[in-house]
Structure 1
Amino acid sequence: MAHSEDHFVVSIERFKPHTFESDEGDGLFISHSHAYDELTLILAGEGYYSSPEQNLKVGAGDLIRIPSGLHHGFVCTAPWQGVSVHFRHDKLPVHCQYLFHASREPNRIHSTQLGEGDLRWASISLEQMEREWRAERPGPDSASCLRIALETLLLLFQRNHGNAKQTSESGNDQAIIQEVVKEIHARYYSSVTVHELAARHYLSESNLRKKFAETMGVSPKQYIISLRLMEAKRLLQQTDKAIESISSEVGFTSSSRFYDFFVKSEGITPLEWRKQALQSV
């Protein structure tokens, strides 16, 4: 499984206890960037993670999420142990993509402290991921087990990171929109309406549209369409399902509407896009 070029997991690495000598000076931080996301769980010890705008102290129980493309570094100040998962979030199903699309700070390292129960849960999830990832002969459900374990880690991060934020009027608005985004990701393929979403959060439709556009940069309807197209592209690349079947699966009421939106977005037909995507693998 580790050699699958189109898989969402790039690598899983455990780092052993080590420290840098203080006389290494400028070499103290190992600085780099990569074209995929990272989740790192610190199991023991402590140190610092840095980005162009940050210098975060981290220790045992911290779960760290680093967006793709962000230049960052780290240094261990007390012998530490941990696990890092590198993955491509764009290859995950749309229902868990809200964990990335709801973020308003894509160019920052995000860190949260896990409680004892969640830390144990995170550790078990990582162990399961390692087992599936390193298996010489992956079973038919290995990819699903990997995805569920990774999604569990992301949900643990989101829950603890969200609980740590201050509550204010603007913060409450942000929390509402994040809940709406989560609901949309869970039901993007159905006939979910702005009226229904607004009523669930005791907002008028116009108010929800305004808050959503201010936070996400697009209207709820545009966001739903973009998710349907995103999932359609994943299915076009990762499966051999018929285009008409994919169109229905992601929520378009007709193949012609799917074609129209797809061509408007990508400039080519779904079939042409699939051929190009498969040739580039």
Structure 2
Amino acid sequence: MKLIFGANTLQYPAGWQFAEHQHAGIEVVGILTGQVLLMTPTTRMTVKAGQVVCIAPYIPHCWASDHAGTLNVLHFIHAPRDLTQRLVSINRPRLISLSSTQFAEYNALFSRLAALEEQAPLQQVRLLRAYVEAFLLTLLESDQVTNPNHALVYEIATYMQVHIHESFTIAQIAHQFALSEATLRRRFHELFHTSPKQYLIDLRLNEAQYLLATTQLAVKEIAIQLGFFDLAHFSSLFHQRVGHTPSQWREKAAHL
């Protein structure tokens, strides 16, 4: 089973542009020198030297830079899901700023992953998996949240991700974390630029994309697993977000 692909250090020229595209796995890009502009349908983000940006699967995005520079790029496919779910934001890229020491550790792990991917013998799979986990944990541990309000929102978002297959309401989430619904909505907007309800819907739809691409479960079964008991409503939401019906998406994902 392939865990990663496309590990590469790229020297890009002044005026560099990379057209809109998307991936079935998580894309992690670290800027070694220079800076780049990352654009998605909802976000424009400048990523500078010493920063790493993580992009969730199936988010259309493109790159551009006015000046020359160097970056690392790596894609995760079958990485540990408990770590990757904590690493990426479901609706927008996640930017992580590293200290010089942290970035050196990130770069050393990236180089080791790239070397292991190139060798790729069967006996290296276990070692590669260990390095993948170390790489992801390095990014997670480096992205320390100093604002306690933001830390709580990240905790709530992680709870939603872990319990994605369970039935709960936003009111229940707010009560569980001793917040009013209004406060929860306000803090979610501050951090994720969306409501907790929409975040949960996006999270479940992203999981639906993953299940459609990686399993043979029936569309109705996937919908029910993710709390959508009205198949027509699920299909409508899915089409609004992805631009395809679930069945069309499954066929498209098979060719990504």
Q: Any conservation in 2 of the 1:11–1:85 contact (CA below 8 Å)?
A: yes
1:50 paired with 2:35, answer yes
The aligned residue for residue 41 of structure 2 is none
In the TM superposition, what are the counterparts of 1:1-281 in structure 2 within 5 Å?
9-13=4-8, 30=13, 32=16, 37-40=27-30, 48-51=33-36, 56=49, 64-66=51-53, 69-71=62-64, 73-74=68-69, 84-87=72-75, 96-101=84-89, 110-113=97-100, 119=105, 127=112, 130-131=115-116, 134-137=119-122, 149-150=131-132, 152-162=134-144, 167=146, 171-253=147-229, 255-266=231-242, 268-278=244-254, 280-281=255-256
Task: Look up the equivalent residue of 1:209 and give its one-letter code.
Answer: R
Query: By how many angstroms is 1:240 displaced?
Result: 2.5
Q: CA RMSD in A?
A: 4.5
Cα pair distance change 1:95/1:30, threshold 3 Å:
same
Task: Look up the equivalent residue of 2:62 and give its one-letter code.
Answer: G
Query: By how many angstroms is 1:102 displaced?
Result: 7.3
Identity of aligned residues (%): 23
Task: Look up the equivalent residue of 1:135 and give its one-letter code.
Answer: A
Give aligned pairs, total: 232
Query: By how many angstroms is 1:208 displaced?
Result: 0.6
Query: By how many angstroms is 1:39 displaced?
Result: 4.4
Cα pair distance change 1:268/1:177, threshold 3 Å:
same
Decide which structure has the larger Cα Rg and report it: 1
Task: Look up the equivalent residue of 2:5 and give its one-letter code.
Answer: V
Task: Look up the equivalent residue of 1:186 and give its one-letter code.
Answer: V
Task: Look up the equivalent residue of 2:136 and give its one-letter code.
Answer: L
Query: By how many angstroms is 1:204 displaced?
Result: 1.3
**SS of the residue aligned with 1:252?**
coil
Cα distance in 2 between the residues matched to 1:38 and 1:133: 18
TM score, norm. by length of structure 2: 0.64
Unaligned runs of 5+ in 2: 38-45, 55-60
Cα distance in 1 between the residues matched to 2:12 and 2:91: 27
Cα pair distance change 1:186/1:266, threshold 3 Å:
same
What are the superposed Cα offsets for residues 181-222 of structure 1, whole Å, 9 maximum, x if unpaired?
222222222124323432343321221122213432322122
TM score, norm. by length of structure 1: 0.59
